[in-house]
């Protein structure tokens, strides 16, 4: 998921720096594809949503993914056609600040899931999701 978030950020940047409308549409579709891949990865963990720490971390992560995606799509609309300096400012104000906490949340969710799974292996009596 972390690599998909970074890839999505790069695709937003690339889309903003192109003057070709067709390339912009392709970049926008690639951003959407990246978002769907992240959602599919999160869906693999849906059985954990009801658990305590792991479920809370995954729920928070899903909300942050959706917020980052919304910001990315908004930036694609509002910054297209602006000067490179203006695009850099938009990316620094709207994409970079959202990317850092999202990557942190991914790491927290991974740790929470690993902790949850290690408890299952230790014989906590809950069904295994491995």
**Per residue in 55-109, pLDDT tens?**
788 888 889 999 999 989 888 887 777 888 888 888 888 888 888 888 888 888 8
Tokens representing 7 are 């890839």
pLDDT tens digits along 92-101: 888 888 888 8
**Cα 5 to Cα 128: distance, rounded to the nearest angstrom:** 29
pTM: 0.76
**pLDDT at residue 129, rounded to an integer:** 43
Domain boundaries, the chain: 2-121
- Give me the CATH topology for the region 2-121: 1.20.120
Contact by Cβ (8 Å): 79, 14: no
């Amino acid at each position: 998921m972390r690599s998909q978030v970074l890839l999505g950020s790069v695709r937003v940047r690339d889309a903003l720096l192109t003057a070709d409308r067709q390339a912009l549409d392709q970049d926008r579709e690639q951003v959407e594809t990246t978002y769907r891949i992240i959602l599919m990865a999160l869906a693999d963990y849906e059985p954990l949503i009801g658990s305590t720490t792991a479920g809370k971390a995954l729920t928070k992560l899903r909300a942050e993914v959706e917020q980052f995606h919304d910001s990315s799509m908004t930036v694609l609309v509002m910054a297209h056609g602006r000067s490179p300096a203006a695009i850099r400012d938009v990316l620094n104000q709207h994409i970079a600040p959202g990317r850092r906490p999202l990557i942190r949340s991914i790491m927290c969710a991974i740790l929470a899931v690993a902790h949850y799974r290690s408890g299952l292996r230790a014989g906590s009596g809950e069904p295994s999701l491995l």
